[in-house]
Amino acid sequence: MSGHKCYSWELQDRFAQDKSVVNKMQQKYWETKQAFIKATGKKEDEHVVASDADLDAKLELFHSIQRTCLDLSKAIVLYQKRICFLSQEENELGKFLRSQGFQDKTRAGKMMQATGKALCFSSQQRLALRNPLCRFHQEVETFRHRAISDTWLTVNRMEQYRTEYRGALLWMKDVSQELDPDLYKQMEKFRKVQTQVRLAKKNFDKLKMDVCQKVDLLGASRCNLLSHMLATYQTTLLHFWEKTSHTMAAIHESFKGYQPYEFTTLKSLQDPMKKLV
């Protein structure tokens, strides 16, 4: 008798396991179908889509932050290269004017020397702009690889739960279309699917809230980052223009009233053979 009971329990356990496997396979099927619908861009239930309107708006903001921070990082690198190139060319021009000024003993030579010296000074001061830019680039990269990456991981997890939830909704919709309230097995199946929908919605709602909060925090953090770093760069840039403009103004004042060269232009050439006639 006891052996018969053990055999009966084994059958029940195996039957329960089989039902569990079938249930998981069905759940996976509807999740895969939902993923396929999303990948192919097929139209989804408008009410379900509308319920995630706030979330989708946050995701658009997140992708905008992600994209613009990458563009900003590239722009800063390019800007630093251009500053170095401009500084180098400015320094070369300054050295050329100084060398030519030493050879010219007139007042024009002194002007070339003074201007060349000012250009060399300006090129050195321009390189100082790289310090806040390097710091700016480091902060942007840190922001991208930490804050944005962390939010991106949360977004990916949320998308997985959203797929599970919408797949469960498709499953429940399919079951409800064939539902006969008088049949116990169909009602039991519907209740199980309904439970699955509730569980998936609970998980999705939690991640949905996490994503919205993180995106809001990400936007605020980016504003603080840009405000602080751009203020530092602006101060450095202002000092650069103050120093260089003061130097250029001093040169202008020292040579004020200088009479420039007068050039005579030949408009026509006389044939030398006519003088022999």
Distance CA 221, CA 114 (A): 47
pLDDT computed for residue 53 by the predictor: 84
Q: Please report the pLDDT score of residue 12 as a whole number.
A: 46
Is the pLDDT at 74 greater than 90? The verdict is: yes
pLDDT at 101: 83
* Contact between residue 134 and residue 208 where contact means Cβ atoms under 8 Å apart: no
Q: Collapse the DSSP code of 181 into the 3-class scheme (helix H, G, I; strand E, B; otherwise coil) and give the result.
A: coil
Place of tokens 């408009």: 267
Does pLDDT of 76 surpass 70? yes
The tens digit of pLDDT for each residue in 6-16 reads 545 454 444 44
Q: Give residue 55's identity as a one-letter amino acid code.
A: L
pLDDT in tens, 181-208: 555 466 666 677 777 778 878 888 898 9
pLDDT for the residue numbered 7:
46
CA separation for the pair 228, 180 (Å, rounded): 65
Position 72 scores a pLDDT of 95
Q: How many CA atoms lie within 13 A of 90 on its CB side?
A: 19
Residue 28 pLDDT > 90: no
**What are the residue ranges spanned by the domains of the chain?**
47-257
Which has the closest alpha carbon to 132: 226, 229, 244, 242? 229
Tens-digit pLDDT profile for residues 106-160: 777 888 888 889 999 999 999 999 999 999 999 999 999 999 999 999 999 988 8
Tell me the CATH number for domain 47-257. 1.20.1270.60
- Name, in order, each residue with C-beta under 8 angstroms of 26's C-beta and a sequence gap of 6 or more: 171
